[in-house]
Amino acid sequence: MNRRELIIRKGDSKSTRHSKKRFRKRLKRMGKTKHVFVLISKSDSDITTFCSTNKEIYDQLSSNDFTYKVSGKTFSLYDNTGDVIKAALQLLKSKNSRIFTLDFAHSGVEFGALYFIDSFGWYKSKKYNWAGAQFKNITPGKADILLNLRSNVTNETHCKSGHIINRRIKIERTKDKILYSKEYEIGSKQVRELIQNSIKECTCSPDYKLSIEMNNAIHSVISEQFDNIYQHAITATHAELCSMFDKNTKTISLLIFNYGPTYAQNLQKDDLPQYVKQFRDDVINNHRKKNFFGLGHSFTEENALTLLALQEGVSSKLDSDITRGYGLSDFIENCYSLSANSRIVIVSGRTTIRIDKKYHMIHTNLLGRNRRILALNDSGDIYSKPDSNYVLDHGAFFPGVIIETTIPLNI
């Protein structure tokens, strides 16, 4: 609740007026009014940063346009990150405080993109009497799922078309230290149970259990990502962890995202462990000499740094914890034990990285020991240019990190 919401207005119902009064009294008793507004201010700051870092796109959008028509075949973070971000910007730019329409024009729709858009709708609802996004030309099954999205609060929903788990996880800090409440561990357990129960349903195997390796891999990627948020996204007040089982397509989706520094920004710091810094410089200097960057090239230094950050053991905290940087590698390998057609998309800054069965991790000597490398090219060499279909600049900017995993169980 923000300052504007606490103001008692003439049009407020009796119950709304009472709610506002009770909330203000509770804040006053707890002496936390200032703290609550600081958290709200930071949330607003995230949106401001999102818009300002996409200023060129944002300025070209019309505030009188209340509809965004999807142009690609699929509205998804994997296939068209730029389109998803542009739709979010259009929603924020729209002057209409109540209605915004997404016209899918019969294109495919995936959960992560819809959840991402939904989160901006709820942000807008803090300032206006938001009626929610409307959807045109969408299949009934997807519409059923959309009606049950609640990205603004922690919740679990079962509907005819799907099972959705959403945890809006608070990042707790004091002025001098991080408070590791590890609330994400509850979400991790829920996600693993959702995946296990979904496979039971798809395979008609009531006794099915995830392997210990898969259990550990899912928990590892979640815990490592939240550790990264605690360590690096020092202004983050919350992060999103959600999962969905689409009963119509028999597909599991897992989404984690937060605002904060990008992967590339973290690797640009000077206080990296010396051997991580040296590896970064070696790769970037190699790419410059080979003219991978520059005018007319779709591959940028930010793209290269983002890919580099995903390699096993590449972490600014490797000096203090030698196990850092393993979670994502473990998770990628184990996803394919559930489905050979699993896909992962990572969005950070202007970079989209796509991971599927085409390119596999290889083992090579890196940072003083044998480690897994995902170069996303035919040679498996991190010093060679990656496939432009798998590492690309999507033309917009997300100020943080998004990781979405899609696991189809019907193939």
Residue 39: both structure tokens together: 């958290």
Residue 304 has a CB neighbour count (10 Å cut-off) of 25
Percent of the chain with pLDDT over 70: 80
Write the CB contacts of 333 (distance below 8 Å, at least 6 apart in sequence).
Answer: 217, 361, 372
Q: Which strands, in side-by-side order, build the sheet including 67-69?
A: 67-69, 100-103, 133-136
Q: Quick one: which of 66, 67, 84 has its CA closest to 75?
A: 84
Burial class (CB in 10 A: 0-12, 13-18, 19+), 307: buried
Q: What are the extents of the domains in the chain? A: 32-152, 263-397
The CA-to-CA distance between both ends of the chain, in Å, stands at 45
Instruction: List, run by run, the mean pLDDT of 10-residue segments along the chain (411 residues).
Output: 50 59 52 37 74 94 89 90 94 78 85 87 71 77 73 79 84 60 82 92 90 87 79 74 90 90 91 88 95 82 95 70 69 86 95 95 82 93 95 94 91 57
pLDDT digits (tens, 9 = 90+) for 239-297: 888 899 999 889 999 999 888 889 999 899 888 888 889 999 999 999 999 999 976 66
- How many CA atoms, within 13 angstroms, populate the side-chain half-sphere of residue 32? 8
Q: Bridge-partner residues for 372, per DSSP?
A: 363
DSSP 207-238: T----HHHHHHHHHHHHHHHHHHHHH-TT--E
Strand pairing report for 74-75 and 108-109? parallel
Residue 165: CB atoms within 10 Å: 19
Please compute, for residue 181, the number of CA atoms within 13 A of its CA located in the half-sphere on the CB side: 11
Element containing residue 304 per DSSP (H, E): helix 301-309
Query: pLDDT per residue over 77-135, tens digit each?
Result: 999 999 999 999 999 888 766 678 889 887 888 889 988 988 887 777 776 666 667 78
Place of tokens 């924020």: 92
Do strands 100-103 and 67-69 pair parallel, antiparallel, or not at all (unpaired)?
A: parallel
Buried/exposed code over 102-120 (b: 16+ C-beta within 10 A; e: otherwise) = bebeebebbbbbbbbbbbb
